[in-house]
Amino acid sequence: MDRRSFLASGLAAAGVVAAPAAAAPLSKMKIRRIRYYEPRRPNPTFNQSDRIVTVETDAGITGIGEGGSKDMLQQCAAMLIGEDPSRIDHLWQMLYRGFFYPPGREKLHALGALDLALWDIKGKALGVPVYELLGGLSRDYIECYSTGFPSKGSVKDTARACLEAGFRAYRTSLVGAVKGTLNARQVVEKTFEHCRELREGIGKDGDWSIDFHTCLDLPDAVRLATLIESLNPLLVEDPLRSENPGALKNFRAQAKVPVAVGEQFGAKWDFNELIENRTIDYIRGTLPNVGGITEFMKIAALCETHYVGIVPHFTGPISLAALVHVLAVFSGPVLMEITGQGPRPSPYLPQGAEFHSGKLWPRDAPGLGVAFDPKGAELIAEIGERSSRIRINRRLDGSITNW
Give pLDDT, residue 245: 87
Give pLDDT, residue 100: 80
Q: How far is CA 295 from the centre of its chain?
A: 11
Predicted structure pTM score: 0.92
Which of 259, 153, 150, 144 is CA-nearest to residue 197? 153
Mapping DSSP onto H, E and C, the string for the chain reads CCHHHHHHHHHHHCCCECCCCCCCCHHHCCEEEEEEEEECCCCCCHHHCCCEEEEEECCCCEEEEECCCHHHHHHHHCCCCCCCCCCHHHHHHHHHHCCCCCCCHHHHHHHHHHHHHHHHHHHHHHCCEHHHHCCCCCCCCEEEEEECCCCCCCHHHHHHHHHHCCCCEEEEECCCCECCECCHHHHHHHHHHHHHHHHHHHCCCCEEEEECCCCCCHHHHHHHHHHHHHHCCCEEECCCCCCCHHHHHHHHHHCCCCEEECCCCCCHHHHHHHHHCCCCCEECCCCCCCCCHHHHHHHHHHHHHCCCEECCCCCCHHHHHHHHHHHHCCCCCECEEEECCCCCCECCECECCEEECCEEECCCCCECCCEECHHHEEEEEEECCCCCCCCCEECCCCCEECC
d(CA 351, CA 365): 11
Terminal-to-terminal C-alpha distance of the chain: 53
- The bridge status of strand 62-66 relative to strand 142-147 is unpaired
Residue intervals of the chain classified under CATH 3.20.20.120 are 133-361
Residue intervals of the chain classified under CATH 3.30.390.10 are 3-128+373-401
Give pLDDT, residue 126: 96
Which of 39, 62, 65 is CA-nearest to residue 344? 39
Q: Label residues 351-383 b or e (16+ Cβ within 10 Å = b).
A: bbbbbeebbbebbebbbbbbbbbeebbeeebeb
Q: What are phi and psi of 313, to 5 degrees?
A: -75, 150
- Under CATH, which architecture does the 3-128+373-401 domain have? 2-Layer Sandwich (3.30)
Which of 108, 66, 90, 12 is CA-nearest to residue 353? 66
| Domain 133-361 belongs in CATH node 3.20.20.120 | yes
Residues of the chain with pLDDT under 70: 1-25, 27
Half-sphere exposure of 398 (CA within 13 A, CB side): 3
